[in-house]
Amino acid sequence: MMRTTRAVRFALTAAVLFALPTPLALSGQDVEELADAYRTDAGRLIGAALTDEIGWEKLTHLTTQIGHRLSGSDGLERAIEWADERMRAEGLENVTLQPTMVPHWVRGEEHARVVGPVERRLSILGLGNSVGTGGETIEAPVVVVGSFEELEALGRSEVEGKIVLFAVEWEGYGRTVQYRGGGASAAARLGAVAALVRSATGNSLYTPHTGAMNYADDAPRIPAAAVTVEDAAWMRRMSEAGETVVVRLAMEAEMLPDAQSYNVVAEITGSELPNEVVVMGGHYDSWDVGQGAHDDGAPSIAAWHALTLIHQLGLRPRRTLRVVLWTNEENGGRGGRSYREAVGEDIDDHVAAIEMDGGNERPIGFGVTVPGAGGTPGGLPGTPARGEVSPAQQRALALTSAIGTLLDGIEAGTVTSGGGGADIAPLMADGVPGLALRTVGDHYFDWHHTDADTIDKINPVDFKKAVAMLAVMGYVLADMPERLAVR
């Protein structure tokens, strides 16, 4: 087959795509032409990513020498300063620190212990945004429930003055996490003095999982903490045996005034349509335990390094390709909202948004959603959509699937309906197509929000594949002749 120059390949692709009989239809030949136009550049990007060591060195620095990065902490601000300096040194364009005020929750010291009918230590992690015990120690009997309905059935007479334990069964993160988020307020309405929640995971080696909780305006604020799967199961069995477990709890947690933080932004300016933007990234903050390696250090560094490799290879797409390391996803979401506010009335110039926030296990592809085009994104980044899929969504799937074929060589080219993420949700709410990088997700929730979320849980090859995927998908979306979705 005769080899063509990059310019000729673009011209051929444009001729095919703009000659479509309807803006929502793509034939198999159209898809093949799009993939063929970018096969050489994609090969260069994949090769660079798989042989590169600098990206892994950056991830090692972030996780090992900086560590966890809760909003408002010195760790997050050191990470932001380092990324800003490093991006500039790498030659990325328009490096910017985009300011946003973030919550500043501090854990402090915390401990819990069973004091009756036997004595034993409880391993806990206070839930993010929780109040503390006010310098006192709470000691109270534990009431064990398996659902909100069980709690309501008990009524105030059985709950008042006690600690409620939500020993709920694992039904996947989307269903189980509601008890972490709203359990404390539900218990407080019935007079509970504190709430304990079974950690949101299907597997445990006696590891508690933290995460954000929220207080309702119509309930007192009581301390809330996660306990291990093992301790939750033990207390349930004790309750079923007719035993009353008594727990002593002390937490120093407090919410300080909002702190100054920043989204870190860098880009490669588009060669022909610089005002049109494809944005990709991950959230740079993490919880105050572990290293924030899977959530969301590796994804953030992967998106950043994808842009770096594109720049180093001298590739400049037609549209601007931007990376954002969003701040404060974990306990506020203010980075994503601040970015949307900064975009302002130029929202129609955002062609696509890509988020990676599902850890960095072995990557398999992308999920994609065109807002308002049918199909409802699942509860996790990149999970398949539910419901009818419209012609517009089918067209976006066809285009991204064509790009996905460029990643088949690294077994990461599967594209399904259902893309998005917390930080790009404000963009998607105004019609921007959203993509999420998907992984096998075998162990993500084993480490999620724990002291075990460390770099040793990440396979360097999986990380390099994620860099390659983001580089190829981001570059082609920013460079292909037409936009991903007609708006």
Q: Cα-atom radius of gyration of the chain, to the nearest Å?
A: 24
Judge whether 329 counts as a catalytic residue: yes
CA-to-CA distance for 445 and 209, rounded, in angstroms? 9
Cβ distance 208 to 450 under 8 Å? yes
Can you tell me whether residue 1 is helix, strand or coil?
coil
CA-to-CA distance for 379 and 383, rounded, in angstroms? 7
Which amino acid, one-letter code, is at 90?
E
Contacts (Cβ under 8 Å, ≥6 apart) of 51: none
CA-to-CA distance for 165 and 235, rounded, in angstroms? 8
Any idea how long the chain is? 487
Structure tokens at 443: 């162990």
Q: Could you tell me the sign of the dihedral formed by the alpha carbons of 474, 478, 483, 487, in that order?
A: positive
CA-to-CA distance for 402 and 42, rounded, in angstroms? 12
Run of H or E residues at 241 = none
Residue 121 is given by DSSP the state E
Cβ distance 476 to 399 under 8 Å? no
Can you tell me whether residue 34 is helix, strand or coil?
helix
Cβ distance 51 to 422 under 8 Å? no
- Region for 141 from its dihedrals, namely left if φ exceeds 0, alpha if ψ lies in -120 to 50, beta otherwise: beta
438-451: string of b/e by CB count within 10 Å (b at 16+)? Answer: bbebebbbbbbbbb
- Region for 289 from its dihedrals, namely left if φ exceeds 0, alpha if ψ lies in -120 to 50, beta otherwise: beta
Can you tell me whether residue 15 is helix, strand or coil?
helix
Can you tell me whether residue 309 is helix, strand or coil?
helix
Residue tagged active-site, from 329, 330, 355, 361: 329
Residue 430 is given by DSSP the state T
Tally of CB atoms within 10 A around 14: 15
CA-to-CA distance for 368 and 393, rounded, in angstroms? 8
Which residues are catalytic, by number? 329
